[in-house]
Amino acid sequence: MTPTPSNTAGNTPALRVITPNATPEEVAAVVAVLAALDSPAPPRPRARSTWARPRPRPTLRHGPGAWRASGLPQ
C-alpha cells in the first residue's frame, strides 16, 4: 500500500500489506477476521429460574370437605 495523505501526518497505518499481489478480497478477509477477534463474545442466555419451571401439579381432590383440605398440607 502506498501512504495516503492521512498517513503522512504522523499516523501509522493499522494494517500494512507486504505481499504485492494481494487482492482486495484477500485484504478484506484479513480485516474481517481481525475485526471479529476484537469484538466481544455474545452474552450467554440466562438460566431459567427453578420457580418458573413448569412441573406437573397434583390434581385437586373434589367432594365434601375438599375446599378445607386444599389448604392443609398433604
Q: Residues 1-24: pLDDT tens digits?
A: 455 555 455 677 777 878 788 898
Residue 20: CA count within 13 A, CB half-sphere: 0
* Helical spans, DSSP H, in 1-74: 24-38, 66-69
pLDDT tens for 29-71 read: 988 888 888 777 778 888 877 777 677 766 767 788 777 777 7
Give me the pLDDT at residue 9, please. 55
Instruction: Tell if the pTM clears 0.85, that is, is over it.
Output: no
